Structures are given as C-alpha cells and as structure tokens.
Amino acid sequence: MKNSAATNGMVTPDLSVKLGTVTFKNPILVASGTFGYGAEAKQWCDIEQLGGVVTKSVSWKPRMGNPPHRIIETASGMLNSIGLANVGVHTFVKEKLPYLAKFDTKIIANIAASSMEEYRDVLEHIEANAVENLAGYEINISCPNVKDGGLSFGTSVERTEELTTLLRASTDRILMIKLTPNVTSVAPFAEACERAGADAVSLINTLVGMSIDIYTHEPRLNTVTGGLSGPAIKPIALAQVYQARKACRIPVIGMGGIVTVEDAVEFFIAGADMVQVGTANFVYPDAGVRVAEGLAEFMRDQKIGKISELVNSLRVRAELKAAGW
Ligand SMILES: Cc1cc2nc3c(=O)[nH]c(=O)nc-3n(C[C@H](O)[C@H](O)[C@H](O)COP(=O)(O)O)c2cc1C
C-alpha cells in the first residue's frame, strides 16, 4: 500500500491563506528592505516556497539613502539607518517588478513617500504597470530613520486615516498599512485603517534606537539614531500584534524578530493571520523558506489541519479578559 499522508492517518496541513480575493500558498512573507527585490537573494533562496515577497520601499524618485555607517549589530538585533535607498518607481516597474513576475509567488509592493500625493502617484504608477502576481501594496508610514519618511503620517491617527482613504480610492488590490511601534498604543491606528477601508495592517516596523562608541563619544550610526530590528524586538512586536488584533477585525500581518518557526507560531497565536521574516534574512537568506517548511512540520506534529486554527488562539483566562487584558 502507498505510504501517503492519507493512508497513515496523518494530517496534511493546509497552509494557504486568503486575503481579500488573493490566495497565498502559505502565510510566510519576507519583509520589506531585507530581501531587496528578489534577485539579491535568489541564489540562496527558493522564492517560490514563500507565500510572497514584500519589496523594498519605493518612492517616486530614486533615493541614495543615508551615508554610512548605516548598519550596526547590537545585542540580539540590528540598528539600521538605510534611509529608504531605492531605485525609484520608474525603474521599479521597468526592471524589478517584471523580474519578480517570473516567480510563482505573490508580490506586495511597499511604498514610502513624503506627501499624500507622492504615495498616491507611486501607487497609481505601479497600478498602471501591474503584473499578474502583484497582490497589493504595503504602505510604509513608519520608517524612523529619514526625516520625510512617512512617520509624520504613522504617528497621527488622523493622517493615517486620511492617507488610507485616499489610497483606497486608487486600487482594488490588497491595501495593507504598515504601522510603527513608536507610538503609545497601536490600537487607534489599527482602528483608523479599518475605518478607512484598508484590507490589512502590518506591524511592526523598527523601533527607534541608538548605539555609542564610548572611546570617541560618537554615535555609531551616521544619523545618530536608527531603527532597531531582529530578535531583540520580538516581545514588543508580539504585544503590539496582540493589541492590533483586539482593536480591529481586518487581517493583521505580524513581524519583528522572527527567526524560527516557533517565533512565527507565537505570532499566529497572538493574532497574526500572516507573518513576515525580516532581519533573519541577513543571516539566512532562506530564513522565510525554513520557517514555511518548519510550519508545515509543526502543524503535522500538532495535528493542525488549517493555519486559521492557530490564528488568534491565545488562551487568556476569562477574568483577565474581563479586566481588559
Ligand atoms: C536593513 C533594513 C531595511 C529595512 N527597510 C525597510 C523598508 O524599506 N521599508 C519598510 O517598510 N521596512 C523596512 N525595514 C523594516 C522591516 O521590514 C521590518 O518591519 C522590521 O525590520 C522588523 O522585522 P524583523 O525584526 O524581522 O527585521 C527594514 C529593516 C531592515 C533591518
């Protein structure tokens, strides 16, 4: 007899996720700015094993980014002040999007801008040059290391809502707003995105951090402060995903310090419908694929048939829930 999953009585886990009308083969994406535009990682990573690729933030004009040093290693993390270096939207649609279109995976185009009009123009230019596997957009209103990088939107509930409303009118594809952790509470931001018609929120972007050379008394990053990412931020990210999940009914895409499948599972339990793997790609360029493979194995072991059974499955005691935790 054939030794198939069915004949063994084993669960064959279904990792697919539907967001709006789009079906992703699994809930693992690679995070913006940590995987380039795909070509950079291709020789080490089987891109088609990923649920999707979130591309590096793209703006209207190309940007050189900040001068070096713009990456520093910290305890269990990384500080960066790349400053949204990117090729600009015209090169993006001419070269980067067609390259990624060759792979059987979904593309989410991440957009950064310094004005409402720039966000809209970039999105509409991509929309006009869309490829078949372009699933939608992630709107970066949360970059902490450029002065005009959208954080002025991301730290104002009103501006977040206004921008989301504007962009909603320009696309029927997935519109995902990427929130910053550098606020007192993410809940009103998640609520505002839902009110304005976003399909999902993603979080977290990096936390503002710094590092100092004690012999020269100089900051280690050229921009003095930068964005902290990696395992060091995972507990903060988990808490914020949990808070966003409680605040809105639209899907939540979680990220921040995911390296292993166990990290990702914590995010699903906290309420994430999908996750993104970021800084880990600098250590293992196939980190996302490792997590996707590990997830299938974990689900088989735990006899979990569908990823949705894991999502938002945190067990909080009734009395704690009643008290608002
Ligand atoms: C070097 C670097 C560059 C990044 N560039 C972007 C970017 O262009 N746009 C964006 O939305 N997020 C960017 N991010 C943030 C990540 O996408 C992610 O939100 C954050 O790093 C937290 O996830 P992680 O801890 O898994 O890296 C960048 C992060 C790093 C480390």
What pLDDT is recorded for position 79? 97
Q: Output the six-digit token pair for 99.
A: 């390259």
Cα 188 from chain centre: 19
Q: What is the pLDDT of residue 148?
A: 64
197/84 Cα distance (integer angstroms): 26
d(CA 75, ligand 1 centre) in Å = 17
Can you give the pLDDT at residue 324?
A: 83
Structure tokens at 223: 């921009």
| pLDDT for res 167 | 98
Residue closest via CA to ligand 1's atom 29 equals 33
Catalytic annotation, pick one of 45, 143, 193, 248: 143
pLDDT value, residue 3? 38
80 CA closest ligand 1 atom index: 1
Cα end-to-end span (Å), the chain: 52
Asked if residue 253 has its Cβ within 6 Å of ligand 1, the reply is: no
pTM above 0.85, yes or no: yes
- How far is the centre of ligand 1, averaged over its atoms, from the C-alpha of 7 (Å)? 43
Q: How far does residue 102's CA lie from ligand 1's centre (Å)?
A: 24
Report angle CA 114, 117, 122 to the nearest 5 degrees: 85
The confidence score (pLDDT) of residue 143 equals: 77
Task: Please name the residue whose Cα sits nearest to atom 7 of ligand 1.
Answer: 33
Is residue 248 among the annotated active site residues? Answer: no
Dihedral angle, C-alpha 292, 293, 295, 298, nearest 10 °: 180
Its sign, for the CA torsion 255, 257, 263, 267, is negative
Low-confidence ranges of the chain (pLDDT < 70): 1-9, 145-150
DSSP state of 244: H
Query: Is the minimum distance from the CB of 144 to ligand 1 under 6 angstroms?
Result: no
Atom of ligand 1 nearest to the CA of 233: 25
Nearest CA to 204 out of 159, 243, 148 is that of 243
Gap between the Cα atoms of 316 and 296, Å rounded: 26
**Ligand 1 centroid to residue 305 C-alpha, Å:** 31
Ligand 1: residue whose CA is nearest its atom 12: 32
**In the sheet that 225-229 helps form, which strands lie side by side, from edge to edge?**
71-74, 77-80, 225-229, 207-210
What is the pLDDT, as a whole number, of residue 149?
61
Q: How far is CA 20 from CA 23, 119, 170, 176, in A?
A: 8, 22, 16, 11
Topology of the domain comprising 17-322: TIM Barrel (3.20.20)
Pairing of strands 207-210, 225-229: antiparallel
